[in-house]
Each structure stands twice: as C-alpha cells, then as structure tokens.
Amino acid sequence: GFAFNIWTLGEECLQRLGFKPEEYNAPNFNLLRKLGFTKGEIDAANDYVCGTMTVEGAPYLKDEHLPVFDCANKCGKKGERFIHAHGHIRMMAAAQPFLSGAISKTINLPNEATVEEIKSCYEMSWTLGLKANALYRDGCKLSQPLSNKSDVKDEEDVQEVVEHVLGNDAYKPVGELTADQVLEAAQAILNRSMDTEFKRKLARIVERKSLPSKRSGFIQKATVGGQTIFVHTGEYEDGTLGEIFIDLHKEGASFRSLMNCFAIAVSIGLQYGVPLEEFVEKFTFTRFEPSGMVQGHDNIKNSTSIVDYMFRLLGFEYLGRTDLVQVPPVENPMIKKQTEMAAKAQVASVKPQPVAQVTPAPLSNVEKTATASAQLDQTQEYMSSMQSDAPPCNVCGHITLRSGTCYKCLNCGNSMGCS
C-alpha cells in the first residue's frame, strides 16, 4: 500500500477522492485503508505485484525441485521450507577431515526449535567429529543481521484486531463509535499486546475518583491475637468503599508505618477503580503474627493475621461475604447497609417533626435484656475457657475447641490429641 501516496498519485487525485492536505501529508497515511480495503485485500495485491519472496507455490515447479532452492531460513512471509540443522552439520563434517582447525559456520535453527532439537545437534556434531558448533535460533536476539519478519507487523496486528472486533465500523470516525465499541476495541488491543509500557500508558487514562470532603464510613475496634487495631473506612456517596486507615495500639513505629503505607496503597487502588473483590481474594488467609482470636467483632472470631482480619471485615461489610466470618449474621450486612442509606436519604428529605414524648420501656423488657446479656457473657466466657489452650488445627490452620482430652477443629472437623 506504500506505492499509493501523494508523490505517485499527486495532490489533485487525493483531493478528488475527498482527502484533506493534513490527512494525506501525515506520515502514517494509508490510502488503501482509508478507501476501505481490508488488510487481506492489500496483502493479496502486494503479493501479486511484488511477489512473495519465495519459489514455493510457483507454477510449473514440482515439489521434488524445491530442495534445490532451500535457504538457511524461511523465505518471505509464506515460506515454510529451510535447510535443516542436520544438513549444516553433515556438510561441515564432510569438510572437517581436510582442515586442521575448526570451521566457523553458523548452524541456523527456526524460532520454534526445541531444547531436544538443539541437544541432538550437539550430539551429532560430536559423533561426526566436528571441532566447533555455533548454533543460532532465529529471533533469539533483539537485533540480528537477517530478519524475515516485517517491522510494521505489530501495527498491522492492531488494525486487524480492531477490524475483527468492530467489523465495518472500524473505519468510522471515533466520534461515531459508541462507548461500548471503543472499550471493546481497547480491551482487545490490550489483551493482544505484550508491551508492558503500552499497558502502563493506557492505565494512566483512568482518572482517580476522589472522595468527598465530608464522607461517611465507620470505625471498627477489635483485638487480634492481643493486638488492638482500629480500622477506619471512608465511603463515596453511594456507599461504596473508597479508603481505609489502620491504627495499631502497641506495635512499634516500623510495623505501624508499614501498615499505614499498605492502607494508603489499597486506598489509591480503590480510587482508581480496582475492585474490592480483588483485594479480598488476594489478602484473605494471609498468615503472619499477630494472629489468633479476634475480640470486639460480633461475627469475626479468628484470623490468621491483621491483614486477613482487615479484608475479612471489608468483605463482610461491603460485599456481603458471610463465608469469611465464623458467626454468620441473621441479616445480610449489604441489605442492612442499603436499608440504613435509604432511611438516611428519607430523613434528609423530610422536614423535622415535633418530637413526641418517649415512654420508658416496661420493667419486664429491661429484665429480659439484662438476662439475655448475662447469658451471652456466660457463653463467651465458657467458649474462651475452651479455646485458651487450644492449638491451631494441623490440617487447615484454624482454631480448635477442647473436647475432653481432645481438640476438635470447627472448620474441617479434624480431631487432635487423641490416641
């Protein structure tokens, strides 16, 4: 397609075709692509005019004649034949007895050569008595004297990917494409590309969604393995998580600063669109000290680390992941959160009403509440006594309960300490 340009056709021809000077003077201007020809049609025209750079498929040439024209590498884009590495080695072996020194000869191998094939080349060279063996696999260096691959292949691949995804819409102006089409094409190009620099530049397009100055959230105090921890959260207007902060009570300055930096990194990721689900899947069940019993949370009773506890908490509160807690709630936290947000919005929209006089609760209800609280304290005290000397499970690592002289795991059912 390079032959069709302003120098061969002239400006008058391009202007009659409807192109503007800023279009056909651009270095990457491709007339045939602008006219609607596909990559396959342009390649077919190039092969017809310029040839395929190989004799394979030529008329009046039989297959038994092709070995005479074989080269060290494949010829052109469509060539498949080449001299096998064993052919190079046998030719050198025929001349080696007449030379006192080694033969400086490159033994070419294709890019798809395997380790076993290279091993067989060395073995054959040793068997035939060669004094040197110089193997070179095609494409194993970033720069090589001979290459049969085009430098513009990557650009053509991008155009091919866009054509495959969008079809005929690939030739429309960007302004006429829908947002879904643009995102679909960008995702296809991103999946096809192996250039990490390109992916980093594409990631910069995503804008950071900052939190409002006055934000909602909660502060959860808990104790993990004897270490008091405060988890602060900040939310967007729709109730989704946007930032976290971690405060430790007794840990040294180094560990506390490390956890603060970790919380900042997670917060920036959330504000740039990283799903909370990804963080929860990656960081739950991480194991390091402090770990063990959790006190201060109604549903999470054990964790393998502070990070594990933190993302169990966030997954439970913001994703409704009841599978991450030891004591499932009666009501799903997501439904409860949505109800509270709807109630707040309704209260904000309704004008203040006169406050009615509050009638004290009956004495019987107070007594029932006190009795239930005492029973709960007794239950927690009994569970703590059963877990005070219980080791972690040797199968899954979760906490065990003492049952007589044995210890039973509540997670996998394994029994320990019984003969």
| pLDDT (0 to 100) of residue 101 | 92
**pLDDT tens-digit profile of 326-383?**
888 877 666 656 556 555 555 545 555 555 554 454 544 445 455 555 555 555 555 5
Q: Are 5 and 31 in contact (CB under 8 A)?
A: yes
137 sits in which H/E element: strand 134-137
- Distance separating alpha carbons of residues 318 and 321, to the nearest angstrom: 8
Question: Does 312 lie in the same domain as 227?
Answer: yes
Least confident span in 29-33, 154-158, 193-197, 362-366: 362-366
Structure confidence at residue 366 (pLDDT)? 45
Residue pair 399/292 in contact (Cβ under 8 Å)? The answer is yes
pLDDT band of 321, cuts 50, 70, 90: confident
Domain-embedded: residue 14? yes
Residue 404 has pLDDT above 90, yes or no: no
Q: Into how many domains does the chain fold? A: 4
Alpha helices in 27-84 (DSSP H): 31-34, 39-50
Digit-coded pLDDT (tens) for 121-154: 999 999 999 999 999 988 887 677 666 555 544 4
Q: Provide the residue type at 199 as one letter.
A: K
Q: Look up the domain containing 419 and give its range.
A: 385-419
Give the number of other CB atoms < 10 A from CB of residue 159: 15
Q: What is the DSSP string of 160-225?
A: HHHHHHHGGGGGS-GGGS-HHHHHHHHHHHHHH---HHHHHHHHTTSPP-PPPSS-B--EEEEEET
Q: What is the pLDDT of residue 384?
A: 53
The predicted structure's pLDDT at residue 149: 58
Q: What is the per-residue pLDDT for 419?
A: 47
Mean pLDDT of the chain: 79
Residue with tokens 């909370």: 276
Statement to judge: residues 181 and 226 lie in one domain = no
Residue 17 lies in a domain: yes
Residues 223 and 341 in one domain: yes
Considering the domain boundaries, does residue 193 fall inside one? yes
The angle at the Cα of 89, spanning 138 to 68, to the nearest 5 degrees, equals 75
178 assigned to some structural domain = yes
Asked if residue 250 and residue 163 are part of one domain, the reply reads no
Segment 50-69, tens digit of pLDDT: 888 889 988 888 989 999 99
Type of residue found at 142: L
Q: What's the start-to-end Cα distance of the chain, in Å?
A: 82
| Residue 291 shares a structural domain with residue 172 | no
Last residue of a domain, one of 347, 375, 406: 347
Q: What angle do CA 14, 49, 27 make, to 5 degrees?
A: 40
Which of 179, 203, 227 is at the close of a domain? 203
311 and 395 both lie in a single domain: no
- 290 with 389, same domain: the answer is no
106-109 and 219-224 as β-strands: parallel, antiparallel, unpaired? unpaired
pLDDT at 148: 59
Asked if residue 267 and residue 235 are part of one domain, the reply reads: yes
Boundary residue ending a domain (169, 203, 237):
203
Is there a single domain that holds both residue 247 and residue 341?
A: yes
Same-domain check for residues 180 and 289: no
Residue 213 within any structural domain of the chain? no
Same domain membership, residue 187 and residue 235: no
Q: Are both 178 and 239 inside the same structural domain? A: no
Specify whether the CB–CB gap between 294 and 301 falls below 8 A.
yes
Is 324 inside any structural domain? Answer: yes
C-alpha–C-alpha distance, residues 152 and 140, integer Å = 19
Tell me whether residue 140 is in a domain.
no
Residue 133 lies in a domain: no
> What's the pLDDT at 343?
56
